[in-house]
Amino acid sequence: MDYDTITAHADYVIESTDFSELGVRRAGKVRDIYDQGDTLIIITTDRYSAFDRNLALIPFKGQSLVAIASFWFEKTKGIIANHMIDTPDPNVIVVRKYEVVPIEVVVRGYITGVTSTSLWTKYQAGERDFGSFTLPEGLKKNQKLDAPVITPTIKSDVHDEAITPQQIIERGIVPEDRWREIERAALALFIHGTEVSRERGLILVDTKYEFGVDERGQVTLIDEIHTPDSSRYWQLGSYDERFSKGEEPEYFDKEFLRLWFKENSDPYGDNTLPEAPKDKVVELAHRYMRIYEQLTGATCAVDFSLPIKERIRNNLKKYSRSVSLS
């Protein structure tokens, strides 16, 4: 989808839903979730969140994320079962509900990052032993690792805590046999994701996976997979030259909008924030679209004949728990 089309339909967005006929709504940062007992209806909105608040609505963001996750769920179902049942609308995925394993499994193929928890930041500070793997001396930022590594974190509403596989087992968070199964699945998913991404001119740098278990203890992939909200992508074609020059890779970046708010307001202190500039909203929407279309090889098709919320409601009629949708 080109800039002109996105600009012309920049108001075609969905901020939230109120489909009481689907059950009780639980709102996350981006997704509205309706619990129907054994299944969940997950509606991915166009909310762009940072600083613990919604900053903007990015057209087609939700649709891009659902399409990318669905693409990867289909591609990887031979590696491990996943929770996807149906995609009745471009913004919706219906999934089976599982008991969530309280660990985010982060897999990294390159040493990079700027945050305090990033592999590169810790490496720069002198850390070499990461519990389940040791890195050699002499690595450079953005360098490919000899093999992918796993750096798990404990899921938390406040902040994620880094933890080693040994600690996961010792604390009894996950039984050892189940953790080994999760490790094998995560590495297989990442290796496959790396291969598919490379075929499409992209480098899958790192990502996070979440897993659940059913009543029989079977491990299943849940949440999302290889979306630009859960993964880091670089453009393959320019990587070698940029790395050799010590330059940053050509990467998918959504932080520029977050930084604009930081420069033009106090996101944590101001009661009201300025409206995001339209050109920056369109630019971010285009970046999501570019990743979606590059990965899947599909062109985004949107039916603008109905308001987005009405379209979603119509497509979810079969999941309604009420007689009337009025």
Contacts of 284 (CB under 8 A, 6+ apart): 48, 58, 61, 254, 256, 257
- Using CB atoms within 10 A of its CB, is residue 317 exposed (0-12), middle (13-18) or buried (19+)? exposed
Quickly state the pLDDT bin for 173 (edges 50, 70, 90).
very high
Quickly state the pLDDT bin for 157 (edges 50, 70, 90).
low
Query: What is the residue extent of each domain of the chain?
Result: 99-244
Task: Note the CATH number of domain 99-244.
Answer: 3.30.470.20
Count how many residues are written for the chain: 326
pLDDT at 323: 41
Spatial contact of 83 and 95, defined as CB atoms under 8 Å apart: yes
- Mean pLDDT, the chain, whole residue set: 94
pLDDT at 156 > cutoff 80: no
Above pLDDT 90, what percent of the chain?
A: 90
pLDDT at 326 > cutoff 90: no
Q: How far is CA 154 from CA 23, 116, 282, in A?
A: 29, 16, 35
N-terminal to C-terminal alpha carbon distance within the chain = 34
Task: State pLDDT tens for residues 54-100.
Answer: 999 999 999 999 999 999 999 999 999 999 999 999 999 999 999 99
* Three-class DSSP labels, 113-145: CCCCCCHHHHHHCCCCECCCCECCCCCCCCEEE
Task: State pLDDT tens for residues 6-20.
Answer: 999 999 999 999 999
Quickly state the pLDDT bin for 302 (edges 50, 70, 90).
confident
Token pair of 316 as six digits: 């979810």
pLDDT at 121: 95
Neighbouring C-alpha atoms within 13 Å toward the C-beta of 132: 17
Quickly state the pLDDT bin for 300 (edges 50, 70, 90).
confident
pLDDT at 125: 96
pLDDT at 161: 84
